[in-house]
Amino acid sequence: MIPRSLTVSLLALGAICLTGCSQDGPSQQQQQLKPLTLKEQASNVVKSADGYAVNWAGVLANVNPWHFGEHVVATIVGRDAAGKEVVRMDQPLDAVPPGGSLAFTGEARAGQKPVKVTIDYRPAQWRPAARIASAFRSFPVSRVQTLPQKDGSYLVTGYVGNPYRLPASSLVVNALLRDKTGKLLGGGSTFVDDVKAGSPPRFILTVPELPKGSSVARTEVNARTWGSTGRPFEDLALGGAVPMHTIKPTTPPFQTDRGSQAFSGREQ
């Protein structure tokens, strides 16, 4: 028989171990998560009637395959030649999907001309995704046209599809313009609402004037759910995707199953 004192000691030791493990688990998991990275950024300053229009575009990447990066805020700062801050803007961003990226664009007004514009961001809040990364399918974009305008801006049009069974209440559409080397030149954004499978709505957006000498060779368009959390994206993924092949066969079925004939002719 085990002495009572030894039993009490073992139980106390087990409770301490369980408490320590429960406290260390989440913190260790958070330490293993890698921060978001700003892969690309571009900015442009254009003279306007009330001062200067500061435009920017960027791409955030999330290498964590099981977590959404949520409640991200980008901070855009413009400084003049003397280093004085002439414009600052905090831009709340949409959730960054697991193992994916987030393109964003924006615009602000400045009374004085900034000669340098930088983009920084606050660390994301991490939340485990309800589905694996492959369940979060991208929204297909088709029939994209990029039309240069007389004022130096670009008009981008196209159609956005929905690969999910449930309708998407609101999607953000981003267009990024690149040169022949793939360098990011600028971008623009717009919204489309009530996007249903099989009925892609048309989008129209404007990319502000680009720096002089820019030559646009490629337009990259992507769409995503709107909101600082990944809940809207998760709801669509949990509702299931539309089957890729929904057309019924036109040929009649075989009168006899060929597989059964093949197996019946084999020697045992």
- Read off the pLDDT of residues 84-98 as tens digits, 9 standing for 90 and up: 999 999 999 999 999
The amino acid present at 198, given as its one-letter code, is: G
Q: What residue has token string 């809940």? A: 231
What pLDDT score does 267 carry?
Answer: 52
The CA-to-CA distance between both ends of the chain, in Å, stands at: 62
What does the pLDDT average to over 50-62?
Answer: 95
What pLDDT score does 71 carry?
Answer: 97
What pLDDT score does 244 carry?
Answer: 72
Q: Which of 165, 102, 103, 100 is nearest to 134 (CA)?
A: 100
- Read off the pLDDT of residues 223-266 as tens digits, 9 standing for 90 and up: 999 999 999 999 999 999 998 766 677 788 777 666 555 555 55
What pLDDT score does 136 carry?
Answer: 93
- Read off the pLDDT of residues 3-35 as tens digits, 9 standing for 90 and up: 555 444 544 545 444 444 444 444 445 558 999
Q: Which of 177, 211, 217, 219 is nearest to 54 (CA)?
A: 211
